[in-house]
Amino acid sequence: MTTPGDESRTELAWREIVDNYGERVVLPDDDASGSSPATPSSASSTDAEAEAPGGADAPLPDHLVDDDEVEIRERAIAEAERFRPPPAPPFPVPRTWQRGLAWAGIFVAPLLALVVALFSLWVTPLVGWALVGWFVGGFAYLVHEMPRGRDPWDDGSRV
């Protein structure tokens, strides 16, 4: 349970916050240096001095660079342990020209049909049926050429 004195202290604290809202706080360190941050000439000169050497992107001077052995070792370990994906395998080349033609029918025929449909190009119906036949024929050829037999080590127990 709160006492009336607690409420008055809380009310006084809130009133103090509202009364001082928007004023800049003066820290004791600023007063000890002897210069006031409110002086516009000193603020502009410090800004110009801070940006003069090259800005935030400029490298540090040699005497400020940290040559800690532990950090150097940690950076070397992090670089060595960084993930580097393996190089991509070469693009597979079909074993026969028939298989290459079948794969082209699977991928190229629908793309050509899509381009014809998207751009409303007029083509003879024979070209449209040829694209459909190329796709279906390529699919049928690839299914026909699939291996049929079960591998000798495969007993069929796995899904």
Section 134-158 average pLDDT? 85
Model confidence at 133: pLDDT above 60: yes
CA distance 103 to 89: 19
CA distance 158 to 149: 16
156 contacts: CB under 8 Å, gap ≥ 6: 150
Please tell me the predicted confidence (pLDDT) of residue 56.
61
Domain ranges of the chain: 97-144
Contact 83, 112 (CB under 8 A): no
CA distance 39 to 30: 12
54 contacts: CB under 8 Å, gap ≥ 6: none
Tokens of 76: 């070397």
Model confidence at 102: pLDDT above 90: yes
Q: Report percent pLDDT > 90 for the chain.
A: 33
Q: Report percent pLDDT > 70 for the chain.
A: 72
Which has more confidence, 149 or 143?
143
24 contacts: CB under 8 Å, gap ≥ 6: 37, 38
Report the chain's mean pLDDT, rounded to a whole number. 79
Highest mean pLDDT: which of 39-53, 66-80, 113-127? 113-127
> How many CA atoms, within 13 angstroms, populate the side-chain half-sphere of residue 91?
1
